[in-house]
Chains A and B, each alone.
Chain A
């Protein structure tokens, strides 16, 4: 069975700083997807970034980038130039490819951006 671990329950940084959220996972699958979702306070969960396991290049979406280390089963999220609007719960999730497409989630990291 697959598991996803987020070891940082809460983090806080100053606005404009760079922050890295950790995520490790365990799987015997070779083909899968990894995701970071963000849930701002009292708002909907939205997809921040995704990574296909077969791609060696790390995914990037504007200020958000990942460090995908497949051998180490690590998938960290880096937020550059953090903004107040980045304050949210961040969830790391795993999806086995070509299967039932259910997401397997980490426990989440609460990120607070301080002014």
Chain B
């Protein structure tokens, strides 16, 4: 069984540019989570999809971030326009059911905004 995959593994962009991160969850997992770790700080929750619906987006920092999960399969997280403080590692995780307490993580995308 393939694990959670994320693309790209690393992205370097200039301030003001747009970047789109992609997450492919484990097949059949309805729940998809995005988290972010800014350098040296705690990992923070961004949002949670159940299938294609946003269950909780309370952690999204501002309206420069847009997440989608069309068709309930893969998800994208777009940052537009990127700011320096957006630099960090973006993790995606998936779980099979809403009451699943174990989340399976992807390798993360390291975003560097210069």
Q: Which residues of A contact B (CB under 8 A)?
A: 4, 33, 35, 37, 42-47, 50, 91, 93, 95, 97-98, 100-108
Q: CA of A46 to CA of B4 in the docked complex: distance in angstroms?
A: 11
Given contact pairs A44-B105, A101-B48, A102-B56, A4 touches B31 in the complex (Cβ within 8 A): no
Chain A residue nearest in CB terms to B46: A102
Given contact pairs A45-B91, A100-B48, A100-B55, A105 touches B43 in the complex (Cβ within 8 A): yes
CB 8 Å contact bits of B13-46 with A (1 = contact, 0 = none): 0000000000000000001010100001111110
Q: CA of A43 to CA of B3 in the docked complex: distance in angstroms?
A: 12
Task: Please tell me the size bucket of the interface on B.
Answer: 20 to 34
Given contact pairs A45-B91, A107-B42, A101 touches B31 in the complex (Cβ within 8 A): yes
Given contact pairs A100-B56, A101-B98, A44 touches B3 in the complex (Cβ within 8 A): yes
Given contact pairs A44-B3, A50-B101, A50-B102, A102 touches B107 in the complex (Cβ within 8 A): no
- CB interface residues, B 85-109, toward A, < 8 Å: 91, 93, 95, 98-103, 105-108
Within 8 Å of chain A (Cβ to Cβ): is B59?
yes
Given contact pairs A43-B107, A44-B107, A91-B43, A102 touches B101 in the complex (Cβ within 8 A): no
Given contact pairs A103-B45, A104-B45, A44 touches B106 in the complex (Cβ within 8 A): yes
Contacts of B3 in A (CB 8 A): 44
20 contacts between A and B (CB under 8 A): A4-B42, A42-B107, A43-B107, A44-B3, A44-B4, A44-B106, A45-B108, A46-B105, A97-B101, A101-B95, A101-B98, A101-B101, A101-B103, A102-B33, A102-B48, A103-B103, A104-B45, A105-B35, A106-B42, A107-B42
Q: CA of A47 to CA of B45 in the docked complex: distance in angstroms?
A: 17
